[in-house]
Structure 1
Amino acid sequence: MNDSPGWASPGSAPSDDQDGTAGIPRPSTPADGDRPDGRWSPAQPPAGQWSPPSAPGRGPGTGPGMPPTPPGWGGAPGPGWGGPPPAAKPGVIPLRPLGVGEILDGAVSTMRTHWRTVLGVSLTVSVVTEILVILLQRYVLPEPASIDPNAVGAEAVRQAGDSLRSELFSTVPASVIAMIATLLTTSVLTVVISRSVLGRSVTLREAWSEARPRLLPLLGLTVLLSAMVVAIMAVGLTPGLLLPGGLGAALAFLGFVAACVVAVWLWVRFTLAAPALMLERQPILISLRRSAKLVKGSWWRMFGMLLLTGVLIFVLTLIIAIPFGIIAVTVDSNGLSEFLNSDSTDFGWPFLIITGIGEVIVSTLAYPFTAGVMALLYVDQRIRREALDLDLARAAEVPGYDTPRS
């Protein structure tokens, strides 16, 4: 057993062990005097009246002359023999299949427990990213194309096309910068989260030294997935764009909807590829196959979890961005009313700086939360399919799990 973030070999499913219970600690033989032939022990309790366990909280021996029911017997509250023992929890999550709340809580607990490392990474990347985006917006990217609201016919179509090209040209550089920022934070924070599951701390230097060799494969995985989405969109939109008139527009809309459905399906199917690539140190294509294998049969659960994460990030963005936006507009112009009545889109430095601060705060919190959810979804799926909890318990040196699984 090693302490690397990969924990266990990717193919170690429970089915590899005959009955999937090899290495699991078993209880010792009872020593209460019962005979192996099934007959009653000679030492028996005194006779007394026994009442049926009809009322909640009443055990089998609650009649007159009998002692009170021990906790946990017959539905009585308290610890005892009433249920399985709690799962080991050496780190931020219990080592068993996780619920939605436990995954979200694990991501937040990692941010709170290892806040120096987590916020150090996300804050640094967010500040550098936002500075680059502001400089691009101010000095490199062209002004948005103007649109005449009174234009009709061919002129309106031309203006709409110019506006679309300008918007795409302005979006691509910022998207590339955001992709690189996501790569850096995901690679480092995945290592931090893998250690937090075991209850171990990790410094920024240690996390970076482990994540650095995986940056190029992670970049290749991201580029491959992005190219797949672009190709799907191109296939869906091209037939409609080649046809003129309303028929072409309708076909383009249907192709766009179909392309979105396929892209979302692939996004969920390959969402665990990045954690598999980082923690198992697998090549790109094998990581894609690993993600497809882990997600199989749980697509809707994964989709719901990813959708919930996106909604939470969206709400966080609104809570932070709206106040900063109002302040930026008020400071940059002579009041909100003047901004609303103005047709100019030329924002000054006060607007860019204040909104940039809001974006940095959002990114600093969103990057580690999203990376935490992705990594814990990967851990949860491996616990459900491959009994990874046993390997994690041994790696964390939990008592009773020191026997390696064959």
Structure 2
Amino acid sequence: MNDTPGWASPGSPSDGREPGASGPAEPADRPGTDRPTQPAEPAGQPGAEPASPGAKWSKEQPPPGQWSAPTGPQTPGQTPPPPAPPHPGWGTPPHAGPGGPGAPGGYGGYGGWGSGWGGPPPAAKPGVIPLRPLGVGEILDGAVSTMRTYWRTVLGISLTVAIVTEIIVVLLQGFVLDDTGSEALDDPNATLSELGDALADTTINSGVIFLISLLGTVVATALLTTVTSRAVLGKPVTAGEAWRDARPQVAKLFGLILLLLLIVAGILTAGMLPGFAVSATAGGESGVALTVLGFMAAAVVTVWLMVRLSLASPALMLEKQGIKKAMSRSAKLVRGSWWRVFGIQLLATIIANVVASIIVIPFTFLAAALSGDGVSGFLEGGGDFGWTFLVVSGIGAVIGSMITFPITAGVTVLLYIDQRIRREALDLELARAAGIQAGPGSGATAGS
């Protein structure tokens, strides 16, 4: 039975006889005979072929290819009308007795076709995700499965980057960066000049630590993006292979993240600038209120823009694009799915930070108890925290980063792949790359 477009679906005899039953049946047409305006209903639906060779049709059958439905008088040589469209509900078996529509072996149930439609075949899954549009749980599970399946590579990369980054931070905090600024900020008798100098020192210290942490995050994201993309195809990759593949794009990725940070700083400054101007000229509460209002408006714009550009990193790494092209690709992929992308990334960030906090907080309290004025001094914001505090808390930070890096990077990469599957049918290309035959039986479906 062929169900391609243009073929009529099998129908049921109007006189109650089953296909192949004995008894005469008049054909719908005889050569050279005009049909009546209201013909009697034939044994099968219009366009249907005889159900079996045993049906007693007239011996004077029209030649093959000229069979037509009884739609009125037909002149010789006239092109037969197209067959009727498939019956609504084709594939949904009605309730019928043996031999009827939907019954095993009956018309409409030939070979089990109408006896039960179980839906499309499952999507192929060569790696950590099925090759079809993904749900939220599948994206999160794919990130965790990547870390669990390729734990040697994933945890090796995360641990190495976290250790190197944290060693640099601890050494800078212990030898170069001092905490005199924080002491001046805690002193109620400090002069305005001392507060300004302390604020500048604290800002510089925080900025240096942030840049070092950012550099480590960029390297970890670049390497883990390569690992996750291979995990989707079920192909393992070593840390060396990941570095060789990601190395040409690392500088561009660092430039991309710096550019995004500059954009954020520019938006926030522009939002608060009117309030600063009012405070400098008129002063009073109006300037403060305008500054706060401008900051809130700028924060909303910043969140919207950062979500829109959140897929630029995997686009840059996997498509080998430049910075500008990667940003435009991200904006195109997120268009129309902003809330979905925002929700998934927010959920992944919350999960990663909760897991990291469960690990980091105990190490922080342990470090405070082993140094300075103890936990009470740490809670009060004072105390002298030396090398013991820096080392113990640094160990906790390393373990936390080792877990958060794979989750955040993996979710971003899988979200990028999911958006391309939905918009560009990337699942077909992934199936071919994984050596899977793309077709009805493979489960590789076009994106929606």
Is the pair's TM-score, using the shorter chain for normalization, greater than 0.5? yes
**Kindly tell me: are residues 162 and 313 of structure 1, through their superposed partners in 2, closer, same or farther at Cα, counting changes over 3 Å?**
farther
Q: Which amino acid aligns with 1:206?
A: E
Provide the residue aligned with 2:269 in structure 1: 234
Q: How does 1:3-402 map to 2 (within 5 A)?
A: 38-39=48-49, 41-42=51-52, 60=95, 81-143=117-179, 144-147=182-185, 150=188, 161-242=196-277, 243-244=279-280, 245=283, 246-333=285-372, 335-337=374-376, 339-340=378-379, 344-401=382-439
Q: Which runs of 5+ in 2 are unaligned?
A: 12-43, 55-92, 110-114
Alignment partners' CA distance in 2, 1:230 and 1:352: 30
Segment drifting more, 237-246 vs 360-369: 237-246
| Greater C-alpha radius of gyration | 2
The letter for the 2-side match of 1:386 is E
Give the alignment's TM-score, normalised by structure 2. Answer: 0.71
Are the equivalent residues in 1 in contact too, given 2:357–2:400 (CA < 8 A)?
no
CA contact (8 A) 2:369 2:375 kept: yes
| Cross-structure match for 1:52 | none
CA distance in 1, matches of 2:244, 2:306: 29
Task: Deviation per CA, 1:100-128: give whole Å up to 9, x if none.
Answer: 00000000111111111111111000001
Distance 1:340 1:220 in 2: 38
CA distance in 1: counterparts of 2:305 and 2:379, whole angstroms? 41
Q: Deviations over 1:257-300 (max 9, x none)?
A: 11111111110010111111111111111111111000000011
Structure having the larger proportion of residues in helix: 1
Retained in 1: the 8 A contact 2:224–2:406?
yes
Structure 2: how far apart are the matches of 1:210 and 1:135?
31
What's the CA shift for 1:68? Answer: 10
TM-score (ref. length: structure 1): 0.78
**Aligned counterparts of 1:128 and 1:305: Cα–Cα separation in 2:** 30
Summarize the Cα distance change of 1:179–1:340 in structure 2 as closer, same or farther, 3 Å threshold.
closer
Per-residue deviation at 1:40?
5.4
Distance (whole Å) between structure 2 residues aligned to residue 373 and residue 148 of structure 1 = 40
Indicate the percent of aligned positions where both proteins have the same amino acid: 51
Q: Counterpart amino acid of 1:276? A: A
Cα pair 2:363 2:393 within 8 Å, conserved: yes
Unaligned runs of 5+ in 1: 1-25, 45-57, 74-78
Q: What do residues 226-266 of structure 1 show as CA deviations (whole Å, max 9, x unaligned)? A: 11111112212222223243222111111111111111111
Residue 166 of structure 1: CA displacement?
A: 3.2
What amino acid sits opposite 2:232 in the alignment?
Answer: V
Report the CA distance between 1:197 and its aligned residue.
0.5
Counterpart residue identity of residue 100, structure 1:
V
AA matched with 2:313 = A
Aligned length: 352
Bigger RCO of structures 1 and 2 (CA < 8 A, at least 6 apart): 1
Residue range with higher mean Cα deviation, 347-356 or 120-129: 347-356
